[in-house]
């Protein structure tokens, strides 16, 4: 052991001696400052008490983020004082599907994203706020809450291209939970660059018939919603990006429950989506464990937490 240490020291000394003149030395590489993320929860028709810890751990364990959580009151009167400091964060992640926020909070959130903030909508967050115009522009498409052709088109992959379908019909549905494949439709976007063209996702709700303004919206990945599992028979958009003013929004329709959130496909696309929404770039690598089309990959981000 002593020999080994000595050898390492010698290597270090040799490396020092071999350094070029000071002017040629690159400045020391500092660890990048962590991005600040805020998860919003507190009301949802899904079990946010179970899923927020998974979202939080996934972001923290990526090494890119420090994460705070803003839990809204569940009571309408108390909700009047719900006013997170959005501008303190690089990205706001919504795990919220509930009562309308107060007007001042809605306006502050709109200003935050329009001014260059990042926003990420997870699963049922795209059910929220059917009548809040700016929010629907940020999510691009949404479901339920009375959404219909008045909300905007369906967005589908048909015949090798993305098609906006303005035909009549409800907004928002899903068939039985099952494993399904996602097909990357834009592999050049920073979020999807380097991902396999097709990858499997764990059992989840495959949202279909989402509709909304779909302005400045780019579909990154779709999944085929098979009528055999109660779906629409269409290739439905499940990972999307939307420009809103100077802000960047990432919309993942995945993530119904812990089973879906313990899927590596969900986690990696979430982390990359959050980083892109925060900065416009993605530096997190695609891990070797990322699934292809043969089998899902599962990882519990709450296991092996550093002590």
Applying CB under 5 A, the residues found at the interface with Zn ion are: 205, 256
Nearest residue (CB) to Zn ion, 64 versus 122: 122
Phi-psi region of 230 (alpha: psi -120 to 50; beta: other; left: phi over 0): left
Beta carbon nearer to Zn ion, 204 or 275? 204
**Residue that is written with structure tokens 């089998």 in the block:** 295
Q: What is the DSSP letter of 285?
A: P
- CB 162 → Zn ion: shortest distance, Å? 24
Residue 197, classified by CB atoms within 10 Å of its CB into exposed (0-12), middle (13-18) or buried (19+), is middle
- Nearest distance from C-beta of residue 249 to Zn ion, angstroms: 20
To the nearest whole angstrom, how small is the minimum distance from the Cβ of residue 268 to Zn ion? 20
Give which of 266, 204, 211 is closest to 239, Cα–Cα.
266
Dihedral Cα 111, 284, 121, 137, nearest 10 deg:
50
Residue with smallest beta-carbon separation from Zn ion: 256
Q: Closer CB to Zn ion, residue 62 or residue 121?
A: 121
Please give the Cα distance from 248 to 274 (Å, whole number).
Answer: 10
Q: What angle do CA 241, 103, 35 make, to 5 degrees?
A: 40
Shortest reach from residue 180's CB to Zn ion, in Å: 14
- Cβ of residue 205: shortest distance to Zn ion, in angstroms? 4
CB nearer to Zn ion: pick between 113 and 263: 263
3-class SS of residue 181: strand
Q: Give the nearer residue to Zn ion in terms of CB position, either 248 or 256.
A: 256
Nearer to Zn ion, 201 or 256 (CB): 256
CB of 83 to Zn ion, least distance (A): 28
């Amino acid at each position: 052991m002593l020999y080994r240490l000595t050898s390492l020291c010698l290597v270090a000394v040799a490396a020092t001696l071999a350094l070029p003149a000071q002017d040629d030395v690159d400045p020391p590489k500092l660890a990048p400052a962590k991005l600040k993320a805020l998860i919003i929860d507190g009301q949802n028709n899904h079990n946010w008490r179970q899923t927020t810890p998974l979202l939080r751990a996934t972001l923290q364990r990526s090494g890119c983020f420090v994460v705070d959580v803003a839990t809204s009151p569940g009571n309408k009167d108390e909700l009047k004082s719900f006013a997170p400091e959005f501008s303190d964060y690089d990205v706001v992640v919504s795990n919220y599907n509930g009562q309308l926020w107060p007007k001042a909070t809605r306006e502050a959130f709109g200003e935050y994203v329009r001014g260059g903030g990042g926003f990420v909508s997870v699963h049922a967050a795209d059910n929220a706020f059917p009548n809040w115009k700016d929010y629907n522009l940020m999510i691009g498409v949404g479901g339920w809450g009375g959404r219909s052709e008045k909300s905007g088109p369906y967005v589908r992959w048909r015949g090798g291209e993305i098609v906006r379908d303005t035909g009549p019909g409800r907004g928002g549905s899903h068939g039985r939970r099952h494993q399904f494949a996602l097909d990357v439709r834009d592999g050049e976007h920073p979020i999807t660059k380097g991902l396999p063209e097709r990858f499997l996702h764990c059992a989840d709700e495959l949202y279909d018939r989402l509709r909304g303004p779909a302005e400045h919206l780019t579909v990154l990945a779709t999944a085929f919603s098979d009528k055999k599992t109660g779906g629409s028979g269409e290739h439905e958009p499940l990972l999307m990006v939307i420009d809103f003013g100077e802000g960047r929004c990432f919309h993942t329709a995945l993530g119904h429950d812990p089973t879906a959130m313990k899927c590596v496909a969900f986690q990696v696309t979430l982390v990359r989506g959050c980083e892109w929404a925060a900065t416009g770039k993605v530096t997190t690598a695609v891990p070797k464990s990322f699934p292809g089309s043969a089998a899902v990959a599962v990882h519990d981000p709450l296991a092996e937490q550093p002590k």
